[in-house]
């Protein structure tokens, strides 16, 4: 991580400072030292490879610019099974395109391949391990991490204890692919050995709200808004549906005052659309 060789930065024989090197302020560090120094307010650079998450806003905030390999990443959400594919979809697309497998351990509901195909997951690269009890999930996840055989591992561990996460983290240091543990939002209060932890929830306007509350570097103060339209819905969204928050009956939207109409309007859109909106009727 040395930007310039040492002799270039601190050459005692150089009598006149070269034009490329400005005179040093008192207290300023030599360039070579400054490049090798990590300050507490900077993002840490991970030693291992990262894979881009597919969200530019998220990549900018993750150390190294993507999901880390050789480490465990925790994704906390208030309800499991509401946003995992949307958040990890771009990554899974890369993994499957590279010909490696995605293994899911103990998902809360049955994965639906026709929908996952829109996230780039193909049938040859998806394995569902139906582990029901907490110990089975941990054992399966541990075996898969130890073997370093899958391109990405997503495990739902609602009851994992901190020492079990630590064990997985230690094993994951030799696992190339990213390992994701999906846990309930209450786990945010527990300590965890995972170097990257996110709290995610679903926003109304086709977006995911992500708090990066633990990473190498300072915790992120602001909430990230990541645009995400799941499951091929992008193709059928009308211009009005791009902002579902304006259709919400109970939310006092800025442009429409809460009137008895607004509720009717929202209802009317779906049951009897106005002449201007294009109605998508998908019938088999």
Partner 1 sequence: MLWSALLLPAPDDTASPTDAALQALAIWALQFTPRVAVADEAVVMELAASVRLFGGWRALRERVASEGAELGVRQVAWAPNSLAALALARAGVDDGFRQPLDVSLDALPMETLSAVRPHRLTLAHIGCRTLGDVRRLPRGGIGRRFDKQLLAALDQAYGRAPEVHRWIALPERFAQRLELMFRVDDAPALLFGARRLLLSLCGWLAARHSGTTAFTLRWAHDAMRSKAAGEGGEITIRTAEPTRDIEHLCRLLGEHLARVELLAPVGDLVLTADTVMPLEETSASLLPDTVRQGETLHLVLERLAARLGPQRVLRPVLCEDHRPEWMCRWQPAAEPLPRKPAMASELPQPGFILSAPLKLLVRGNRPYYQGELQMLAGPQRVDGGWWDRDEAAGQMRHVVRDYWVAQSQQAGVLWVFQTRLDEAPAWYLHGVYA
The binding site for partner 1 (CB under 8 A) comprises: 78-79, 81-86, 101, 103, 107-119, 123-124, 126-131, 136, 139-140, 143-144, 146-150, 174-175, 202, 204, 230-233, 235-238, 241, 244, 247-249, 266-267, 269-271, 280-284
Q: Which residues contact 55 (CB under 8 A, 6 or more apart)?
A: 90, 224, 226, 227, 228
Reduce the DSSP state of residue 74 to 3 states and report it: strand
Residue nearer to partner 1 on the CB measure, 79 or 186: 79
Residue nearer to partner 1 on the CB measure, 67 or 156: 156
Residues 200, 206, 211, CA angle at the centre, nearest 5°? 20
Residue nearer to partner 1 on the CB measure, 30 or 231: 231
Reduce the DSSP state of residue 203 to 3 states and report it: strand
CA distance 139 to 37: 40
The neighbour count for residue 226, using CB atoms within 10 Å, is: 20
CA distance 266 to 261: 9
Q: How far is the CB of 91 from partner 1 (least distance, A)?
A: 14
Q: How far is the CB of 151 from partner 1 (least distance, A)?
A: 9
The packing angle between helices 134-147 and 162-172, to 10°, is 20
Residue nearer to partner 1 on the CB measure, 118 or 213: 118
Q: How far is the CB of 96 from partner 1 (least distance, A)?
A: 13
If we measure between CA atoms, which residue out of 84, 92, 83, 71 comes closest to residue 151?
Answer: 92
Strand partners, 154: 104, 180
Q: How far is the CB of 185 from partner 1 (least distance, A)?
A: 12
Q: How far is the CB of 233 from partner 1 (least distance, A)?
A: 5
Q: How far is the CB of 156 from partner 1 (least distance, A)?
A: 11
Reduce the DSSP state of residue 208 to 3 states and report it: strand
Contact of 240 with 266, CB cutoff 8 Å? no
Residue nearer to partner 1 on the CB measure, 59 or 207: 207
Residue nearer to partner 1 on the CB measure, 201 or 216: 201
């Amino acid at each position: 991580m040395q930007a310039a060789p040492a002799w270039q930065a601190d050459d005692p024989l150089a009598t006149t400072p070269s034009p490329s090197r400005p005179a040093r302020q008192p207290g300023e560090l030599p360039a070579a030292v400054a490049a090798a120094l990590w300050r507490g307010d900077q993002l840490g650079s991970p030693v291992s490879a990262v894979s881009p998450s597919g969200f530019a806003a998220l990549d900018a905030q993750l150390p190294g610019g993507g999901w880390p390999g050789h480490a465990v990443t925790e994704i906390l959400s208030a309800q499991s099974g509401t946003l995992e594919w949307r958040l990890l979809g771009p990554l899974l697309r890369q993994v499957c395109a590279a010909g490696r497998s995605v293994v899911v351990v103990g998902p809360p509901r049955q994965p639906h391949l026709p929908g996952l195909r829109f996230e780039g997951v193909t049938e040859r690269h998806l394995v569902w391990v139906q582990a029901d009890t907490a110990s089975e999930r941990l054992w399966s996840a541990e075996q898969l991490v130890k073997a370093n055989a899958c391109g990405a591992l997503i495990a739902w561990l609602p009851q994992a204890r901190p020492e079990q996460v630590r064990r997985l983290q230690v094993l994951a240091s030799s696992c190339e692919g990213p390992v994701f543990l999906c846990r309930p939002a209450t786990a945010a209060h527990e300590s965890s050995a995972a170097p990257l932890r996110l709290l995610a929830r679903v926003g109304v306007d086709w977006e995911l709200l992500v708090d990066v509350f633990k990473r190498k570097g300072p915790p992120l103060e602001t909430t990230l808004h990541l645009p995400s339209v799941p499951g091929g819905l992008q193709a059928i969204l009308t211009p009005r549906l791009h902002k579902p928050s304006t259709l919400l009956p109970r939310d006092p939207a800025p442009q429409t005052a809460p009137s008895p109409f607004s509720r009717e309007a929202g209802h009317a859109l779906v049951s009897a659309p106005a002449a201007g909106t294009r109605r998508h009727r998908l019938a088999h």
